[in-house]
Structure 1
Amino acid sequence: MEQSLQPRAQGGRRRMERVGDARGLVLGYVNALNAVDEAMRAAIPSLERLADVLGLVHSRQISRRGQVGTYSYAVHGTGCRFVSDDGTEVDVDFAVDGSEIFDLWRLRWYGLSLPEPLDVTDQDLRTMSSQLCCCLVASSRSLTCGAARSENAIRLDLTGQTA
């Protein structure tokens, strides 16, 4: 009897570990995005919010690709990919109002780029992201739920303003 229950218990622990990994991945992404924001604003004093990078590129005040402190950046479409000196990638899109938007693909890519790569399932990411979406506060910034570009998108308001 004990042998038949043991695999279920192990499977349950594995499920909890995966969900815990997904939670850590989402929180790690948000923390990494905060670090990018701080570094960019320290290096470019005219930058009021991270989304303003797009305007600076479009007005040719900065190049589409470059290096700022320990981060390289590459502006693409409505977003930007930042890579830290350890190879960690944070890719983010920006809404018209300047909110940061990320999706499951960006979370997974972030996890795989970590010095110790972390790969979690889409379902675990979806579950954890929706749970965190309504309650996460990171560095006095709010994570705001909202459909952005797809059903997998999560919209961040990191401006400190309430919507």
Structure 2
Amino acid sequence: MERVEAARDLVLAHVRALHSIDEAMRAAIPSLERLADVLGLARSRRISRSADIGTYSYKVHGAGCRFISDDGTEVDVDFTADGSEVFDLWRLRLYGLSLPETVDVTDEDLRSAVRSLRPLLTEVRPGWFRVTS
């Protein structure tokens, strides 16, 4: 049970980090209405595909973006067509492994943790989750 608790804490920390990134990016880029708008702005060349903004750096990729904080913590997220921020177990593990005090949990423990966090999290397609609005 301890491992699932650690995984649950990791998922909740990831959700908080994503919220902090959203706030920081919207404060730094006034035209940003939601975090997903980073993709459109980068694709239209109104902002760079990668840059440093405040305490974060970002790099747009495919359907998403990787954010790295000054302490090296990585939050990688994809965006759906409606602008929802989605992540999978791999991205949650990447986050845990990038923390200053590394948290290494199994996919099985993460899956149990995500299930325990319903209705906060919704599975949007097999293995992909978003924070319920």
TM-score grouping bracket, smaller chain normalisation: over 0.9
Within the candidate set 48, 70, 75, 2:55 is matched to 70
State the partner residue of 1:17: 2
| Structure with higher RCO (Cα < 8 A, 6+ apart) | 2
TM-score (normalizing by structure 2): 0.96
Identity, in percent, stands at 67
State the partner residue of 1:147: 124
Runs of 4+ in 1 over 3 A off after TM superposition: none
- Deviations 1:125-148 (CA, angstroms, capped at 9, x unpaired): 0011022131x2xxxxxx4x1333
TM-score (normalizing by structure 1): 0.79
Aligned residues: 133
Instruction: State how far apart, in whole Å, the 2-side matches of 1:78 and 1:156 are.
Output: 17
- Deviations 1:107-132 (CA, angstroms, capped at 9, x unpaired): 00000000000001111100110221
The residue type paired with residue 146 of structure 1 is E
State the partner residue of 1:124: 109
Instruction: State how far apart, in whole Å, the 2-side matches of 1:105 and 1:91 are.
Output: 9
The residue type paired with residue 99 of structure 2 is L
- Deviations 1:60-103 (CA, angstroms, capped at 9, x unpaired): 10010101100000000010000000000000000000001000
Quote the RMSD (CA, aligned, Å). Answer: 1.1
